[in-house]
Structure 1
Amino acid sequence: MNSEKHSLKVERTAHYFTLGEIGRDTKFVWLACHGYGQTADKFIRKFDGLNSNEHFIIAPEGLSKFYWPGVGGIPVASWMTSRDRLMEIEDYVHYLDTLFNIYSNAYHSKTQFVFFGFSQGCATILRYLAHFQPRFSHIILWAGSFPRDIDYRNLQTYFQQGDLHLIYGTQDQYVTTESLDQEKLFLQNQSLTLKTHNFDGDHRVDKKVLMAYLNKILTCKGDL
């Protein structure tokens, strides 16, 4: 006798963290997605150097949890795995959209939206953007790549509304010269323009480097 697989939509509780207070003085609203094996409460600390009156940061936590580096380790989160990937993608893009719209009453015409992803969070944030197409001023990807299952040529107008940035460490074991060349070729074929920046470091969000780049990225338009 063979087993048969079924799927069932269920309600569950998601967790997220915020930094700053959203109000009339808020200039930037962030949606920042952590990487594989991280938690949102620790990830959001990377942004605590920003002016809390001008920046409101929302850091969602991945729905999938596990122990790292194994049983007895600390609980961490992931956005998805290759198992049932399409369903997991559907779940998290709707989760992100629901979360992002919780604060929509406080958004106004001058609000600038910044979408930030680290590592696995890069593909996560890009899939959300491609699916729901919220307006943005900046997309900042840190040590990640564009998922190849999206046809960005059909989204050219959308992605041209703001700046796209990639930041990576020159010693990052996951971002090699070969992978960067492949990324540039893919983006060229997809008619996307990406500004790249690097720093002396490995596969992590260096807080000092982050703050230094944000001071440039968020205050300048055009080439950096």
Structure 2
Amino acid sequence: MTPLFFTTPRTARYISLGEPGPAIEQVWVCLHGHDQPLANLVEQLRNLDTPERLLLLPEALSRHALAPADGAASRTGAAWFAPDSLLADLADLATYLNALTQEVLARCAPGTPVTVIGFGHGAAAACRWLAGNTVDYTRLILCAPVFPIEIDRRATLVALPERPVLVVSTSNDTYTRETIGEGLIQDLLDVGLSAQQRIVDSGPLPLAALGASAPV
């Protein structure tokens, strides 16, 4: 039995911290991790929420309920791709993120720089999206990045434009050894990209560690 695919419009959700307009000096597209609720991502990014910076937080298209934690209210998680529909999911991801980013940038001043930041699986999603060379971005930040085995990491990195890449790891990463950045920095350098790594404490990302205190 072979699954068949049918393309249909989807209604996506996103959060915008900041209002698009001529006063915006930076746009950051922020991709959450696997099953990471957007409210959790907002908390991680609160140090970046400044008047001149617009934070765009798209939610992945595959939404589903998460088990409540200790009697708390129900939560929603989302995934950027599934192992058995990877190519279709990546195509939908690119269509979605291209359209949303272009709509936001059209309401900002021409040439407003774009930073893309991805967490966990969102880092892999960001790399696959940007490898399509559709969005003109300034730099890429990968936080505790996880590339599922279904995604060829080296082939994805080769296709990225020549933009700086920052790999951010926390001092107490507990996901996999990959989130600590082992091998990824070397892969980035091997394909000719400028790459650096920063180690930060868990919690909201500090401005200084990201070099985000001034326009980029």
TM > 0.5 fold call: yes
Counterparts of residues 164-179 of structure 1 (less than 5 Å): 164-176=165-177
Q: 1:5 to 1:49 in 2, by over 3 A?
A: closer
Larger radius of gyration: 1
Q: 1:187 to 1:50 in 2, by over 3 A?
A: closer
Measured after TM superposition, the shift of residue 136 of structure 1 is 1.8
Give the conservation status (yes or no) of the 8 Å contact 2:18–2:54.
yes
Measured after TM superposition, the shift of residue 130 of structure 1 is 0.9
Instruction: Find the aligned partners of 2:50 and 2:181 in 1 and give their Cα distance.
Output: 34
Partner of 1:29: 27
Q: Which is further off, 83-92 or 138-147?
A: 138-147
Measured after TM superposition, the shift of residue 111 of structure 1 is 1.3
TM score, norm. by length of structure 2? 0.82
Instruction: Report which structure shows greater RCO (CA 8 Å, sep ≥6).
Output: 2
Instruction: Find the aligned partners of 2:84 and 2:98 in 1 and give their Cα distance.
Output: 23
Counterparts of residues 53-64 of structure 1 (less than 5 Å): 53-64=51-62
Instruction: Find the aligned partners of 1:149 and 1:84 in 2 and give their Cα distance.
Output: 20
Match of 1:159 among 154, 158, 162: 162
Measured after TM superposition, the shift of residue 135 of structure 1 is 1.7
Identity fraction in percent = 23
Q: 1:137 to 1:38 in 2, by over 3 A?
A: same
Instruction: Find the aligned partners of 2:201 and 2:13 in 1 and give their Cα distance.
Output: 33
Q: Secondary structure at the residue paired with 1:93?
A: helix
Partner of 2:7: 9
Instruction: Find the aligned partners of 1:51 and 1:68 in 2 and give their Cα distance.
Output: 27
Measured after TM superposition, the shift of residue 159 of structure 1 is 2.1
Give the conservation status (yes or no) of the 8 Å contact 1:33–1:61.
yes
Partner of 2:155: 150
CA deviation digits over 1:19-61, x for unaligned, max 9?
A: 1122222110111000011122442343333454201111000
Q: Secondary structure at the residue paired with 1:159?
A: coil
Measured after TM superposition, the shift of residue 170 of structure 1 is 2.5
Instruction: Find the aligned partners of 1:37 and 1:151 in 2 and give their Cα distance.
Output: 23
Q: 1:82 to 1:177 in 2, by over 3 A?
A: closer
Q: Which is further off, 140-149 or 110-119?
A: 140-149
Measured after TM superposition, the shift of residue 218 of structure 1 is 4.8
Q: 1:61 to 1:213 in 2, by over 3 A?
A: same
Q: Secondary structure at the residue paired with 1:25?
A: coil
Give the conservation status (yes or no) of the 8 Å contact 1:34–1:61.
yes
Instruction: Find the aligned partners of 2:168 and 2:107 in 1 and give their Cα distance.
Output: 30
Letter in 2 for 1:213: A
**Matched positions, count:** 208
Instruction: Find the aligned partners of 1:178 and 1:56 in 2 and give their Cα distance.
Output: 26
Q: Secondary structure at the residue paired with 2:21?
A: coil
Instruction: Find the aligned partners of 2:123 and 2:91 in 1 and give their Cα distance.
Output: 16
Q: Is it true that 1:219 corresponds to 2:192 in the alignment?
A: no
Give the conservation status (yes or no) of the 8 Å contact 1:26–1:54.
yes
